[in-house]
Amino acid sequence: MNKEVKFVMSDGLVIRGSLEGDLDSDNLVVMLHSGGYDRHEQGVKEVKKNPETGKTEKVFYNPQGNYDYLTTMLKDDYCILRIDQRNHGKSGKNVDVQKLDERSSEFNLSESEKQEIVKALHERDNIKINEFATSDDINMLLHRPPLKNMSFVEMSKDLEEVMKQLPEVAGRSFNSVDYVGTCMGTVVLGLYLENEKNRENVNSITLFSPLYTFDYSFTKTPEDAGLLSLKKQVIESGKQFRLGNAVEGKSTYDEVASFSDEFIEN
């Protein structure tokens, strides 16, 4: 079975996901995806523009995502929770409210309209967003709003809220939980499980491409790793580095550096 679910965070942002497999199982598997991907963990190979349609299209390494494949293997024995982390997939946009307010001031929007826009972005309500897109300029702003840097700490708090709300959303509790994380998801899991109270009923942790040292992501970029070198240059210049829905900046770097130093010891 597949049941679409949503969780409302304390800041109003909506996290969307799905419960799959044996929904009556006492054993839960939670999957956290990489930065820039979504709950399917498909692995984006290339993003290009179709010359015929003019639309941007994603080409994936595997049409069936890694988490789709893993879910297929586990679905007979486990209940599986897959979520789109904030600003990814179908979850809400991690909008920088202050910068959005500054940039939207030129459109003479009322305070109530601004609040409605923020709510629509937090919920990724495209119908409501399109209602406000009355000109090309505001359309561009609303469909590419100013976003906050990804925060691994914030995402770990999201996971904490998701797990607290899950019994009510799922209509039941679980005896054991197995966690799976990939890349960015490994950091979110690490921060979440640092808190001893979150380790209750944890049966196992599986980490793919774990970002412990971050040597080839933020600090040491080999000369032939063009994308990583570009990321480092952009962040060091004080700007945001964007890849899909992953938005990294100095605050992200600082969290990574701190986590890298402390994770192994803890």
Alpha helical stretches, state H, 84-225? 97-104, 111-122, 126-132, 136-143, 152-170, 184-194
Task: Please give the DSSP secondary-structure letter assigned to residue 68.
Answer: H
Query: 54 and 82 share a domain?
Result: yes
Contact 265, 218 (CB under 8 A): no
One-letter amino acid at 120 equals: A
Residue 102 lies in a domain: yes
Total-model pTM = 0.87
Give the integer Cα–Cα distance in Å for 155 and 163: 12
As given in the structure block, the two tokens for residue 47 are: 């993003």
Rounded Cα–Cα distance for residues 33 and 54 (Å): 29
46 to 12, 58, 69: CA distances (angstroms): 33, 6, 21
18 lies in the same domain as 55 = yes
In this prediction, residue 45 carries a pLDDT of 63
Considering the domain architecture, whether residues 71 and 163 belong to the same structural domain is answered as yes
- What range defines the domain where residue 132 resides? 97-143
Instruction: Give the tens place of pLDDT for each residue, 98-110.
Output: 999 888 888 888 8
Per the structure block, which two tokens stand in for 21? 């497999």
pLDDT band for position 222 (cuts 50, 70, 90):
low
d(CA 170, CA 19): 8
What is the average pLDDT across 26-49?
86
Q: What pLDDT score does 239 carry?
A: 92
Q: Where do runs of H (alpha helix) occur along the chain?
A: 66-74, 97-104, 111-122, 126-132, 136-143, 152-170, 184-194, 226-236, 250-262
Residue 14 has pLDDT above 90, yes or no: yes
Same domain, yes or no: 63 and 105 = no
Of 122, 167, 110, which Cα lies nearest the Cα of 147? 122
Residue 43: the pLDDT is 67
Q: Count up the domains in the chain and report the number.
A: 2
- 102 lies in the same domain as 64: no
Whether 14 and 75 share a structural domain: yes
> What pLDDT shows up at residue 32?
98
- Better pLDDT: 189 or 224: 189
pLDDT tens-digit series, residues 1-10: 799 999 999 9
The single-letter DSSP state of residue 218 is I
Same structural domain, 126 and 72 = no
- Closest CA relative to residue 248, chosen from 14, 36, 98, 15: 36
